[in-house]
Amino acid sequence: SPGKDSGLQGTEKASDLTGVAHKKLEEAAAASDDIPTLAFPSISTADFQFNLEKASDIIVEKVEEFVGKIGKAKLVLVDLSHKSKILSLVKTKAEQKNIDTHKFSTFVGDITRLRSLKGLHCNVIANAANWRLKPGGGGVNAAIFSAAGSELDIATKEKADCLSPGNALVVPLPSSSPLFTREGVTHVIHVLGPNMNPQRPDCLKDDYVHGSELLRKAYTSLFEGFSSIVR
Per DSSP (E only), the strands in the chain are: 37-41, 74-79, 104-108, 124-128, 167-172, 187-192
Q: Please state the φ and ψ torsions of residue 93, each to the nearest 5 degrees.
A: -70, -35
Using the rule CB under 6 A, is 110 a contact of ligand AR6? Answer: yes
Using the rule CB under 6 A, is 156 a contact of ligand AR6? Answer: no
Using the rule CB under 6 A, is 211 a contact of ligand AR6? Answer: no
Cα–Cα separations (whole angstroms), residue 45 to 1, 96, 184: 75, 22, 27
Residue 151 burial by Cβ neighbours in a 10 Å radius (0-12, 13-18, 19+)? middle
What is the amino acid identity at position 54?
A: K
Query: Quick one: 67 or 183, whose CB is closer to ligand AR6?
Result: 183
Query: Quick one: 143 or 229, whose CB is closer to ligand AR6?
Result: 143
Least Å distance, CB 44 to ligand AR6, is 4
How many Å apart are CA 206 and CA 187, to the nearest integer?
33
Query: Quick one: 70 or 79, whose CB is closer to ligand AR6?
Result: 79
Choice from 55, 78, 126, 214 touching ligand AR6 (CB under 6 A)? 78
Using the rule CB under 6 A, is 61 a contact of ligand AR6? Answer: no
Query: HSE on the CB side for 83, CA within 13 Å?
Result: 0
Q: What is the SS3 assignment for 173?
A: coil
| Residues 6+ positions from 180 with CB-CB distance below 8 Å | 151, 173, 174, 186
Least Å distance, CB 20 to ligand AR6, is 39
Q: How many residues bind ligand AR6 (CB under 6 A)?
A: 25
Choice from 63, 79, 99, 169 touching ligand AR6 (CB under 6 A)? 79
Query: Quick one: 170 or 215, whose CB is closer to ligand AR6?
Result: 215
Query: Quick one: 32 or 206, whose CB is closer to ligand AR6?
Result: 206
Residues that bind ligand AR6 (CB under 6 A): 41-48, 78-80, 86, 110-112, 128, 130, 137-141, 143, 193, 200
